[in-house]
Amino acid sequence: MAWRGAFVSSPDDDAALRTIAAGRDDVVCIRERAAIAEIATWGDQAEISFLRRDAHRRELLHWMRLSRRHPRYARDGLNREALAMSAAEALGAGIVLGSIFRALDRLGLAAMLVSERAKTASAAGLVLLFRPKHEDALVSGRHFYRLWLAIARAGFSACPMSALADAPDVNARLCALARVDDGRRLVNVFRVGRPQTTKAVSHARLPVADLIV
Ligand SMILES: Cc1cc2nc3c(=O)[nH]c(=O)nc-3n(C[C@H](O)[C@H](O)[C@H](O)COP(=O)(O)O)c2cc1C
């Protein structure tokens, strides 16, 4: 389950982060506050570059269930609990990502309104997964999910930040920062930490019978 809200720090964070990367050569954990803050800004730059594409925003909105009245609210997609959004924030997200996005962007407001910088900067750390460039994508995906489980085992919640890996310029910056060799690619980046709330959240999941066809 992804945690898309902010994080609170704990004295155990550093030790827990070390266990995630221990004994493996495909994971880099970034723990320095200044580096995390800088990458948080890169995350925003990457995200807005994708959000400027109409089709991308359309698909994102298609998966978002911003009101409890949405007919598929508890069935699939990203509901308010999954997005860690209040009713007001969800209403705002729908407006910003909807028809007025371009106007807001022209006024220089869109980037600020969709910023996740504060959430990323609150993370205990960033966990980067590098896999061999020519590895089968399914195998890399398996490593991605197993890494997510290892993060959970270390006591953290996590949110993948795919924009950091998908935007070529930011991806290259992260590869340089982590000094990975040429034969590897950045598969994804997780921001990890302890959620601000201990409240149990319910994310929509399709019934098993609908998944196995
Ligand atoms: C390859 C991959 C990339 C993902 N990238 C993102 C992402 O950039 N942002 C995000 O919020 N969730 C991302 N997710 C998480 C999924 O959207 C989904 O949230 C997750 O599988 C768990 O569902 P949940 O949101 O109900 O917890 C990604 C998942 C996968 C498998």
Residues 131-150: pLDDT tens digits?
A: 999 999 999 999 999 999 99
Give 142 Cα–ligand 1 centroid separation in angstroms. 14
pLDDT given at position 79: 95
To test the pocket of ligand 1, the residue of 4, 44, 162, 190 to mutate (highest count of ligand atoms within 8 Å of its CB) is 162
pTM higher than the cut 0.75: yes
Q: Dihedral of CA 202/206/207/208: which sign?
A: negative
Q: How many CB atoms lie within 10 A of CB 161?
A: 25
- Is residue 158 lining ligand 1, measured as CB closer than 6 Å? no
pLDDT given at position 189: 98
pLDDT given at position 203: 87
Helix axes 137-153, 13-21, angle to 10 degrees: 150
SS3 70: coil
**Geometric angle at alpha carbon 32, from 26 and 35, rounded to 5°:** 85
pLDDT given at position 116: 97
Smallest CA-to-CA distance from 39 within 174, 199, 182 is with 174
What stretches in the chain show pLDDT beneath 50?
Answer: none
pLDDT given at position 190: 98
Q: Dihedral of CA 79/83/86/91: which sign?
A: negative
- Is residue 167 lining ligand 1, measured as CB closer than 6 Å? no
**Geometric angle at alpha carbon 62, from 208 and 5, rounded to 5°:** 80
SS3 158: strand
Q: Which domains does the chain have, with CATH numbers?
A: 7-205 (3.40.109.10)
- Is residue 49 lining ligand 1, measured as CB closer than 6 Å? no
31 within 8 A of 17, measured Cβ to Cβ: yes
pLDDT given at position 46: 98
Smallest CA-to-CA distance from 98 within 85, 84, 113 is with 113
Give 130 Cα–ligand 1 centroid separation in angstroms. 18
pLDDT given at position 197: 81
The residue contributing the CA closest to ligand 1 atom 22 is: 1
